[in-house]
Amino acid sequence: MNSNPQSAGQPTPPAPPQRVLVTGGSGFIGSHLSRRLLAQGHEVLVVDNFYSSTRRNVQDLIGEPRFELMRHDVTFPLYVEVDQIYHLACPASPVFYQRDPVQTTKTCVHGSINMLGLAKRLGARILLTSTSEVYGDPLEHPQTESYWGNVNPIGVRSCYDEGKRCAETLFFDYYRQHQLPIKVARVFNTYGPNMLPNDGRVVSSFIVQALRGEPVTVYGDGSQTRSFCYVDDLIDGLIAFMNSPEQVTGPINIGNPGEFTMLELAKKVLTLTGSDCPIENRPLRADDPVRRKPDIGRAWEQLGWQPRISLDDGLQPTVEYFRRELAAGR
């Protein structure tokens, strides 16, 4: 990557030790975020109902003096005392968010209302992990934050896509109406250790299928694209965003602009796993976006952030993680 230009912001140094709430903190991204915050000296309160996560992701942190784990569903009010809130709670893969779509919408909407109400009471800064799915099947490529999206409001993915769009609306209405210090991050496809083997995400699905000796299932002809961000890079971006000046509200795309077809990803996974499994094509799923690539100019200019880890470098530890998980019978 290029070195920072003079006009780009410099990465924000870690904030002084604070008490930080991470909703969905035992999930894939939340568990990595919680560890990073602890490493920076913060107290971390993780709130999770374990609907689409596993306690194993943070089990080894229990007993740490600055770590607390609370079982709680964010669709119900929460009364705690914290300085910052990272609001990640929501099933983020189709397998989980389509299992109970009404609950997914409630999590996006009621959950955000409850967390915004908590932040308002405390005067706490709050960051929402929104999603690239707010762009739907985009007619603009790459996707900039000014693009309003092309979303089916009544499709099978709408509970998540429209739920997150409504969450963004709520965040900005609280900002305008109550001057609440908000941050809205639009997270693009992220991968790495701590993903669940059955979450239906493309990286985890391909790796698990290859390691099990099963056909790698590619939907359509495999020409549809995604941009994959390694989880460590994403955490860098979220923390830099949270600790950026108050006027930096977003939305800001956080993702890796490297664009790969599903067929390219499948071949990389087969090579890394040493598998000779066949690639099996299946019909495209409803409302599945054809292309996805973030424009990260705003993140570069306002946060001094850009990803550092290539897909090849990130896939290796991810494959090894799943190899260990499968060997342990999980």
Return the active site residues: 160
Question: SS3 of 260, please?
Answer: strand
Q: How far apart are the first and last CA of the chain?
A: 37
CA–CA separation, 258 and 313 (whole Å)? 13
73/91 Cα distance (integer angstroms): 12
- How many other CB atoms are found less than 10 A from the CB of residue 188? 25
Name the DSSP letter for residue 150. B
Pairing type for strands 225-227 and 259-261 reads antiparallel
Burial pattern 228-256, b for ≥16 Cβ within 10 A else e, equals bbbbbbbbbbbbbbbbbeeebbbbbbbbb
Q: What is the DSSP letter of 84?
A: E
Is the Cα torsion angle 241, 35, 204, 200 positive or negative in sign?
Answer: negative
* DSSP letter (8 states) at residue 183: E
CA distance 94 to 184: 22
The span from the CA of 50 to the CA of 194, in Å, is: 14
Whether omega before 142 lies within 30 degrees of 0, making that bond cis, reads yes
Query: What single letter denotes the amino acid at residue 153?
Result: P
**Chain centroid, CA 269 distance in Å:** 21
Cα–Cα dist 93/187, whole Å? 13
